[in-house]
Structure 1
Amino acid sequence: MEQTLREKPRQGFAGLWNISFGFFGIQIGFALQNANMSRVFQTLGSSIDDLPALWVAAPLTGLLVQPIIGHLSDRTWNRLGRRRPYFLTGAVLSALALLLMPFAPTMGAPLLFAAAMLWMLDASLNISMEPFRAFVGDMLRADQHAAGYAVQTAFIGAGAVVGSIFPWFLEQLGVSNLAADGALPDTVKWSFWGGGIALFAAVMWTILTTREYSPEEQAAFGGAEEAVDEGVTLRALAAKSYGSAMVWIVAGVLVALAVEALALEKEVFLLGGLLALYGVLSALAISMAKKGRAANMLSSIVGDFSGMPDVMKRLALVQFFSWSALFIMWINTTPVVTQYVFGSSDTASAVYNEGANWVNVLFTVYNGVAAVAALALLPWLSRKFGQVMTHSICLTLGAIGFLMFFLVRDAQVLLMAEVGIGIAWASILAMPYAILASNLPQAKLGIYMGLFNIFIVVPQLLVATVMGSIMNAFFPGEPVWTMLFAAASWLVAAVAMQRVKAAL
């Protein structure tokens, strides 16, 4: 009986399905956001140069929300469970944002309203998404982690296919894909409304079909080694000097000063402010720990961040370059395809909207490939080459895909580029998390998954703040060059992944 208590039941396919089906809905929301928000912003009057600034809301909310939600969900237990209360909260708010987004053109300040809805949508999606990452680790035994994240990745790909293809599919059904200048086409409006309903329904499926293990059950499964002593984190924090905090503050001030000195985009001020803010919060947390203050959210988050396991630190560098390329793609694919492949930047023209819809098709392809690759290709590659080499191979294939966007001007040929990008996307969503779930303490899985998201968010903030300055200085009005940056970024990530070997 004791042995039974110390090992989680093995989940069949139905169990794996129920655990991750909610992510299908969450990814519909992300796909609608990623494929359509540049189109929405441009339709409402934004220039290409302003797009990164408008997109900055998305990664910023993830940076703030995910560590907090991770910390809270590790410590939550109520009638709904540990992670499911956050699934529900995020689903309700993100569905509301999707339902309201199409009304932006009717508002007094349409761009501001759209940016606010993007902020609300991304924050809400992150509230649901972060616990889903930890949920797989909670519910599955270690030998099923890879399978669990593969199924989750398949649902992410499938959800992204549905979200990305919505506008194109509706156009095929006869829904108008054209609108007056400054108005959103009906294809976009109905895509957001349908996506909101689908998102909520999918998350509710997981909530209603799963039962979380209680803290007592988790302790029994994990054994004595899973008990986490917060005092260890606080003592390690108290032993730190204030020097590291000062480094962050000085770095933030230098970045802010560089804006004027180097004539950088004003959005770079945000990056400097975030660096300085972390330094101040770090100093505050160290001070409280030195004074013997009891464990609190700030001290726990700062302490866990500074004391990350080695495997997480090594994977962080890989994530940084991986997500830099992805954010470049989400912001710039629509301007690149419409301008270079379809030959128009006029958002009211039929040609532009045809190109914008083709971007949805392209995004559908890479997400569809990711769904298939997660279940068919990645397991085979992992068995043959190991998880580390598999991730490097997939990132390299993705880099070739981005290089094709830089070189190719044929819409049909770009479908082949999306195959490589889709394989890389599948690996990004599965391999790092499978490695982490098997190497992190169960009791802190939520906070570490939340902190790991920092290395997804920070590169997005850099792209949103710095890329505009680089493009204006060297390639004004030529967004295609961003695809070369994306290709280089994934090649660097592929090389950095090889350093993870020593940590496994």
Structure 2
Amino acid sequence: MSEKKLLTSKPELNFWQIWNMCFGFLGIQFGFALQNSNVSRIFQTLGADYGNMAILWVAAPITGLIVQPIIGYLSDNTWNKFGRRRPYFLIGAIAASLSLFIMPNSPTLWMAAGMLWIMDASINISMEPFRAFVGDMLPKKQRATGYAMQSFFIGVGAVVASSLPWIMTNWFNVSNVASPGELPDSVKFAFYAGGIVFLLAVLWTVYSTKEYSPEQLKAFEQYQQQTATIEQSPRSTSAFFKGGIAWLLFGAVVTSIIAFNIERLDKNLFILSGGFIFFGICQLIAGLLIQKGKNQHGFAQVMIDLFAMPQTMKQLALVQFFSWFPFFAMWTYTTAAITAHHYASSDVTSKAYNEGADWVGVLFSTYNLTSIIAAICIPLIVKQFNLRIAHMINLFLGGAGFISFIFIKDPTFLVIAMIGVGFAWASILSIPYAILANALPADKMGLYMGIFNFFIVLPQILAASILGFLITKVFDNQPIYALVVGGVSMLIAGVLTLRVREPE
């Protein structure tokens, strides 16, 4: 291939090149899976009250909300001898690996809480540039394959890492018991193994995959006439001030209503009203920066681009919002739902409850294992239809799976429902990013991928805020309805997919 060809046309990569560039995601998912499956155990061991667990669940997505757009903006504007995205892969991997070693040895609750924030921030530093990396490295027709490969590694990492404490106990005879206030060695060694895998997997991608320079990427876009453009004018200073004041006042009113009716409402609703206030403050800060002529300030740029999203991204944002709400509902309420609805027990000391709780672990493994298979099937479905229709089909499968939980009586057959959920999960982690990457300007790929994360975090915050209220006040303390609400939300996401304007 001639030098001119290399500089003007982004070449297709072979299977192993795509494998290498996505392999780091295996390590990233090891970190997330260990965090998600063990953080409650760590906090409870150190004396956390179970009633505060919702706040702990929200801490992680809020960290991503803050970190991802910052890292996206920085990686868009970085180029040194290590590359554009790879420096952030490496920095995040080193920090996350150290955090994974420290977290299970936290002596106090406050230290463990601090380590959770540090660990989640570190994982996000590595993860966000990986999303933009696929858009940088692959031509448009291979991006669905690239993101599906990431989904494959997410599934593998989730299955293995979530099982690591069990593997340590049953395969390597590591102790699964410990003194009060301490974690067993099985959990500690699982975190140590996760830290090593995280670093080595990311190092493999850093070593094996070389990046295109910003100049090459610009040449690719211009030569192939694929340059995406921002379709609307930047938001004015006055609009930021007006919007900021409106959201601030709205949040204050909602907070007052919750405070005066706290006995009839739920304290977690303060998370929602606090989010309104926070969004208002962010707009006011952006307005002040722009007024002072600091439009290129990183924070101002994030806020400006948030309101200037390409039309395809706005349409996908709604799809993502309704797609992620069900998963937070599932992660939070499946155990309570299955044990109460299918095993007729809410007594945590009963045999029926613990049998149901154990079966939930099997169901979670089922959807993660299914996502591995689905990640292999998704490129084939896309070829048969297109990105948009393939995503709609998978979301409908997931929505039907969630809703079927209330109708299936024999818990054994819930495995079938989880197969649908697994296809939706793999699709959510791949197809929206493939569509989005094709609609974004190359010089802002990282920033917009970070902003896109808002629409993953916001539904999780909303779910943490309102699901408790809905279950206790509307659905008569029947947590199975959290999964039904999630299923309806996913069906809505599937319908909204039809509105997405997929770039040619």
> What is the TM-score when the length of structure 1 is the normalising length?
0.89
Q: Does 1:75 align with 2:74?
A: no
CA distance in 2, matches of 1:442, 1:26: 24
1:266 aligns with 2:264: no
CA contact (8 A) 2:392 2:495 kept: yes
Say yes or no: does 1:305 pair with 2:303: no
1:452 is the counterpart of 2:447: no
CA distance in structure 1 between the partners assigned to 2:323 and 2:399 by the alignment: 10
For residue 252 of structure 1, what is the aligned residue in structure 2? Answer: 251
Q: 3-state SS of the aligned residue for 1:412?
A: helix
1:101/1:290 CA distance change after superposition, 3 Å: closer
Displacement, 1:320?
Answer: 0.6
Equivalent in the alignment of 1:373: 374
Which shifted more, 323-332 or 55-64? 323-332
What's the offset of the Cα at 1:433? Answer: 0.4
Question: Kindly tell me: are residues 99 and 473 of structure 1, through their superposed partners in 2, closer, same or farther at Cα, counting changes over 3 Å?
Answer: farther
Q: Distance in 1 between matches of 2:192 and 2:344?
A: 30
Moved more, 205-214 or 190-199: 190-199
Moved more, 475-484 or 326-335: 475-484
- Partner of 1:80, secondary structure, is coil
Matched residue, 1:382: 382
- Which moves more between the two structures, 62-71 or 267-276? 267-276
Judge conservation of contact 1:342–1:351 (CA < 8 Å) in 2. yes
Distance of aligned partners of 1:279 and 1:458 in 2 relative to their CA distance in 1, 3 Å threshold = same
The answer to whether the 8 Å contact 2:71/2:129 transfers is: yes
- Contact persistence 2:315–2:500 (CA under 8 A): yes
Equivalences for 1:170-185 in 2 at 5 Å?
A: 170-173=168-171, 174-177=173-176, 184-185=183-184
Say if 1:493 and 1:228 are closer, same or farther in 2 by CA, change over 3 A.
closer
Q: 8 Å contact 2:28–2:198 — kept in the other structure? A: yes
**8 Å Cα contact 1:339-1:345 kept in structure 2:** yes
In the TM superposition, residue 183 of structure 1 has moved relative to its aligned partner by 5.2
- The CA distance in 1 between the partners of 2:34 and 2:272, in whole Å, is 26
TM-superposed CA distance for 1:356, in Å, is 5.0
453-462 or 197-206, larger mean C-alpha shift: 197-206
**What is residue 323 of structure 1 aligned with on the other side?**
324
Match of 2:9 in 1: 7
Displacement of 1:186 in angstroms is 4.4
CA distance, structure 2, for counterparts of residue 171 and residue 59 of structure 1? 30
Deviation at 1:328, TM superposition (A): 1.5
Letter in 1 for 2:318: L
Matched, 1:425 2:425: yes
Q: CA offset at residue 56 of structure 1?
A: 1.3
Aligned to 1:434: 434
**Which amino acid is 2:99 matched to?**
A
Question: Quick check: 1:130–1:446 contact (8 Å CA) kept in 2?
Answer: yes
Q: Map Cα deviations across residues 347-396 of structure 1 (whole Å, 9 max, x no partner).
A: 788887765554443322212211211122x2232233322222121112
State the match for 2:468 in structure 1.
468
Match in the other structure for 1:142: 140
Is 1:213 aligned with 2:215? no
Which 10-residue stretch deviates more, 75-84 or 469-478?
469-478
Alpha-carbon shift at residue 502 of structure 1 (Å): 7.4
Deviation sequence 1:483-502 (CA, Å, 0-9, x none): 12221221111111111147
Contact 1:43 1:183 in 2 (8 A): yes
Distance change in 2, residues 1:412/1:32 (3 Å): farther
Q: Which residue of 1 aligns with 2:333?
A: 332
Aligned-pair distance for 1:42? 4.8
Matches within 5 A, 1:163-174: 163-173=161-171, 174=173
CA contact (8 A) 1:83 1:131 kept: yes
| Aligned residue among 148, 153, 156 for 1:155 | 153
430-439 or 27-36, which moves further after superposition?
Answer: 27-36
Aligned with 2:429: secondary structure? Answer: helix
Report the count of equivalent residues.
498
Secondary structure of 1:432's match? helix
2:152–2:376 Cα contact (<8 Å) kept: yes
* Cα deviation code 1:241-262 (max 9, x no counterpart): 6322222222222232232133
Question: Residues 300-343 of structure 1, C-alpha deviation per residue, up to 9 Å, x if partnerless?
Answer: 11110010000000111111111111111222234444565567
**Partner residue of 1:87 out of 86, 89, 96:** 89
* 2:255 partner letter: A
Letter in 2 for 1:21: F
Q: Secondary structure at the match of 2:499?
A: helix
Pair 480,274 (structure 1): closer, same or farther in 2 beyond 3 Å: same
- Evaluate the alpha carbon distance shift between residue 46 and residue 414 of structure 1 in structure 2; reply closer, same or farther with a 3 A threshold: farther
Report the Cα distance in structure 2 between the residues aligned to 1:354 and 1:172, rounded to whole angstroms.
Answer: 19
> Matches of 1:205 and 1:69 in 2, distance apart?
21
Alignment check: 8 A CA contact 2:324 2:459 kept: yes
* 1:427-484 residue CA offsets vs partner (Å, 9 max, x unmatched): 1011100001111111100000000000000111112222223333345764333212
Amino acid corresponding to residue 23 of structure 1 in structure 2: F
Counterpart of 2:66 in structure 1 is 64
Q: Distance in 2 between matches of 1:227 and 1:436?
A: 13
Secondary structure at the aligned position of 1:499 is classed as coil
Q: Secondary structure at the match of 1:436?
A: helix
1:400-436 Cα shifts (integer Å, max 9, x gaps): 2223444446553332222111100011011100001
* CA offset digits 1:201-229 (Å, max 9, x no partner): 11111111111112222222222878899
Q: Distance in 2 between matches of 1:345 and 1:96?
A: 38
Q: Aligned with 2:84: secondary structure?
A: coil
* TM superposition shift of 1:96: 2.5
Distance in 1, matches of 2:158 and 2:93, equals 16
The change in CA–CA distance for 1:355 and 1:88 in structure 2 (over 3 A counts) is farther
Q: In 2, distance between residues paired with 1:210 and 1:383? A: 26
- Secondary structure of the residue aligned to 1:56 is helix
**Contact 2:306/2:451 (<8 A) preserved:** yes
1:68 Cα deviation (Å)? 0.7
* Greater Cα shift, 57-66 or 492-501: 492-501
Cα displacement (A) at 1:27: 0.9
SS at match of 2:212: coil
Amino acid at match of 2:153: F
The one-letter code matched in structure 2 to 1:223 is: Q
SS at match of 1:127: helix
Corresponding residue for 1:361? 362
Amino acid at match of 1:81: G
Moved more, 202-211 or 31-40: 31-40
CA distance in 2, matches of 1:19, 1:248: 41
Q: C-alpha distance in 2, partners of 1:80/1:193?
A: 27
TM-score (norm 2): 0.89
CA contact (8 A) 1:45 1:182 kept: yes
Q: Distance in 1 between matches of 2:60 and 2:411?
A: 29
The 1:45–1:288 alpha-carbon spacing in structure 2 relative to 1, beyond 3 Å, is closer
Helix, strand or coil: the match of 2:12? coil
How far apart are the structure 2 equivalents of 1:217 and 1:88?
23
By how many angstroms is 1:285 displaced?
A: 2.1
Query: Does the 8 Å contact 1:317/1:455 carry over to 2?
Result: yes
